[in-house]
Amino acid sequence: MIKIIIFFFILTNLNVVNASPNIEIANNFEKINSLKFKFIQKIDNNNSEKGECIILYPKKIFCSYDDIYNKVLVSNGKSLVINSNKIKNYFRYPLKDTPLNLILDKKFIISKINDLKEDLSYPFFYVFDVDYKNVSIKVFFDKKNLDLIGWETTDIYQNIVQTFISDIQKNVVIDNKIFLIQRYIN
């Protein structure tokens, strides 16, 4: 009987030690309800933008860009609005028609991470390729702390858009009013 108990104890400890990064990343990501961070966004390696964002799961995001045009991107979970002083009108899209619909869906990402193999062509972070209904995204996680550190998508103009995030604060208290789209429509 003691041999059986020792065998199960050893087997249980081996499973914990050899847990895949997928499981550890999914478990870490599951604990996050909101994120506040700075970002750098590169579009086809030619243009870059930076700013700050707040995500409230599921599917809400507010980003303010560091530019002279006061550009904002906001989603209330159903629509996505992009507005700035540079344009005379705002752009509004159904969130479901954008790659952000998947990126902002924590449960979807976690379900996919559990089934995916790591893209080994990136040595400094874990990368998972997610393909769903003609949308392809790469999701990046830090190899040290397993935090979400960015994503790569293709925009409506077929440009490759990479977003890398830093100075991440998890589970911050957020005022839901920042996700009210009417505040950002001219």
Note the pLDDT tens digit of each residue in 126-145: 998 888 887 889 999 999 99
List of domains in the chain: 20-184 (2.50.20.10)
pTM for the full model? 0.84
Q: What is the mean pLDDT of residues 145-153?
A: 94
Note the pLDDT tens digit of each residue in 53-111: 999 999 999 999 999 888 999 999 999 999 998 887 899 999 999 999 999 999 999 99
For residue 48, list its beta bridge partners: 42
pLDDT at 15 exceeding the cut of 80: no
Note the pLDDT tens digit of each residue in 41-50: 999 878 899 9
Distances (CA, A) of 179 to 33, 64, 79, 152: 15, 12, 10, 23
